[in-house]
Structure 1
Amino acid sequence: MNVKLDSADLTLRPWEPGDAEALAVLADDEELRRWTSHRVAGPHDAVRWIAMQEAGWKSGERLSFAVLVTGKVMGHIVLKRSEGEACGEVGYWTGAPARGLGVASRAVELLTGWAFDTGTGAGLSRLELIHNAGNPASCRVAQKTGYVLERVLPPRARNEAEGHLHARERVTTRH
């Protein structure tokens, strides 16, 4: 879990126990709860959630990062993958203080570059980004970062909206 990705004032690093209070504050946001399945009910629950993210790193199936801007936790981004698969899935959210500042787009771009990097990252050849079809901000993030809308997904459960599946392929250069 020593992965740390940096770009200017943006840092992606694995969640740490010391992030629990900041996570609880960010998660106490109606807009965040509207668009994500992410639920953290206070600092004690945040400790539990962070421990789950650490378990994901150990299994290699869920590589979760805290998104920091100038050292302050502002969001979350995750790369989900299955062993032996060349395709992964990117998910993210940003807290209210980061919205509208391009933080999500920058985090997605940074994680995407790392995930496609066969030398230091996951070396994947395809990434998918799925979001609620009614969330235009997530659609803009996907488009801005080169994820092409491939199809509309049916609702997963009753009373849920359709989803959008965006994808991006690793570009390979031939010499």
Structure 2
Amino acid sequence: MSGTVVRVTAGGGRPLLLRPWRAEDAAELVRVQRDDAALRHWISSAVDDEPAAARWIARQTEGRESGGLLGFAVVAGELPEGEGELLGHIALTGVEPGGTRAEVGYWTAASARGQGVAPRALTAVTEWAFGRGLTRLELVHQMDNTASCRVALKCGYEPSGVLPAAPPEFPLDGHVHVRHA
């Protein structure tokens, strides 16, 4: 599952490419996160400068190599090089060799919100994961993140329960959504 690029053309809007993160994405990652207070509120590991972005990308690469974290940069366009504008991030975490479940998480850049990027990327990753043997995906978001809740429901992730807060990374109770293959 680790070396894959996922092309998204369905669902309307501009084509998207979900590809592995690369070291050269560091400056763009900083640019997207630096002045986006809403995004920084929801994510647990915001980056403030290029060295922090490089460390974050290195963790993505290490996770991909081990197979336990499959993170994708969501970029605009269909270029095989994946050089389009950075629109977001989506990842499968907790992937175990031979396992059938994972957790999915995502964020979108301010410039991409309200354009269907998150639901299209989530649908694509969900279908991709199910096509590779996973049968259960969980999506967790803070209870006050209504936009993420709407995306989960739109993509067929059913509410499954409440996860108690676990500060500092998860400061508020969260909704758990589940989707089965």
Aligned-partner Cα distance in 1 for 2:146–2:116: 14
Residue 38 of structure 1 and its aligned partner are, at CA, apart by 2.3
Identify which of 113, 117, 132 aligns with 1:99.
113
Stretch of structure 1 that moved more, 19-28 or 107-116: 19-28
Structure 1 position 2, deviation (Å): 2.9
The CA deviation string for residues 34-69 of structure 1, in whole angstroms up to 9 with x for no partner, is 111022111221111111110001110000100012
Give the percent of matched residue pairs that are identical in Structure 1 and Structure 2: 46
1:169 aligns with 2:169: no
- Over 3 Å counting, the alpha-carbon distance change for 1:18 and 1:169 in structure 2 is same
AA aligned to 2:134 is L
- Pick the aligned partner of 1:61 from 68, 81, 85: 68
Q: Tell me the SS of whatever aligns to 1:82.
A: coil
**Aligned equivalent of 2:8:** 7
Q: Which amino acid aligns with 1:154?
A: P
Out of 96, 101, 105, the residue aligned to residue 87 of structure 1 is 101
Distance in 2 (CA, whole Å) between partners of 1:55 and 1:160 is: 26
Matched, 1:153 2:163: yes
Q: Shift of residue 157 of structure 1? A: 2.9
Tell me the distance in 1 between the aligned counterparts of 2:63 and 2:39: 22
SS in 2 for 1:124: coil
Q: Name 2:12's counterpart in structure 1.
A: none
Deviation at residue 79 of structure 1 after TM alignment = 0.6
Distance of 2:4 and 2:56 partners within structure 1 = 19
Superposed, which structure 2 residues align to 1:16-165 within 5 Å?
A: 16-28=22-34, 29-70=36-77, 71-80=84-93, 81-117=95-131, 121=132, 123-157=133-167, 160-165=171-176
Take 2:57 and 2:172, find their aligned partners in 1: how far apart are those partners? 28
RMSD, matched Cα: 1.4
Letter in 2 for 1:11: L
Alignment-mate amino acid for residue 179 of structure 2:
R
> How far apart, in 1, do the equivalents of 2:142 and 2:126 lie?
20
Runs of 5+ unmatched residues, structure 1: 171-175
Give, in whole Å, the separation in 1 of the partners of 2:76 and 2:155: 19
1:18 is paired with a residue whose SS is helix
The residue type equivalent to 1:24 in the other structure is V
